[in-house]
Amino acid sequence: MIQRAHKRPKVEVASYKGKRLNLWGKILLAMFLVGALAFAALQGVITSGARDHFSGEPKSMIVLGCQLYDWGPSVMLQDRLDKALEYLADHPDMTVVVSGGQGPSEPSSEAQGMADYLTARGISQEKIILEDQSHNTYQNMIYSARCLEQAGVDEEEGVLIVSNGFHLTRARMLAERAGFDNISTLAAPSSHLPSRLKMYVREPLALVKSFLFDR
């Protein structure tokens, strides 16, 4: 006698449609994407300004301050000062404003540290103006403009701003707000890699802050 094989019941497997985001998940994802795009756009603006740019033949120079230690300028500040020295070698008659106050952990004002560095390398003290009251980039520009005016330097002849490349877009914007019209920029390298990475993350936020509040 032939036994019939029992038919196995069919098992229906539900198709996997993926894990769907709830409303808050979608909102957070959208905010993240918008933030990432905005950050990338700001980085593009910063990178585009990180270069030498000359408008005419500037007669004065502003070197923006950075961290000063007991042993001397930080690597980033040395980069700025060395770039300034390269330019001054061919333009020795320029008036140089060294701009930067004294922070809580600094042995003296950044301006004094910069002046000492420049004079030790052959720049005449008579050509250097110390702006030693500022504590941010906007104050750098406002107070440096006052120093030049008090020294009788005609700002219309042009000013050359020296800083690390990542800083120049914001510096130019704030220089314009401070009343400078004929602005040139000199981009120093950022030879200290950890500082360079840190600043390229920080600078987009600083640019937004300065755009909104430094007036």
pLDDT digits (tens, 9 = 90+) for 98-134: 999 999 999 999 999 999 999 999 999 999 999 999 9
* 60-213 under CATH 3.30.70.360, yes or no: no
Q: Can you give the pLDDT at residue 5?
A: 54
How far is CA 48 from each of CA 166, 168, 169, rounded to the nearest angstrom? 9, 10, 8
Q: Can you give the pLDDT at residue 42?
A: 87
Asked if residue 1 has pLDDT above 50, the reply is no
pTM for the complete prediction? 0.84
CB 185 within 8 A of CB 171: yes
What is the rounded CA–CA span in Å between residue 197 and residue 194? 5
CB 95 within 8 A of CB 61: yes
8-state DSSP, 2:
P
What is the rounded CA–CA span in Å between residue 58 and residue 54? 8
Q: Can you give the pLDDT at residue 13?
A: 52
8-state DSSP, 166:
G
Instruction: List, for residues 68-83, the tens digit of each pLDDT value.
Output: 999 999 999 999 999 9
For residues 129-147, average pLDDT? 97
Residue 118, classified by CB atoms within 10 Å of its CB into exposed (0-12), middle (13-18) or buried (19+), is buried
What is the rounded CA–CA span in Å between residue 121 and residue 151? 23
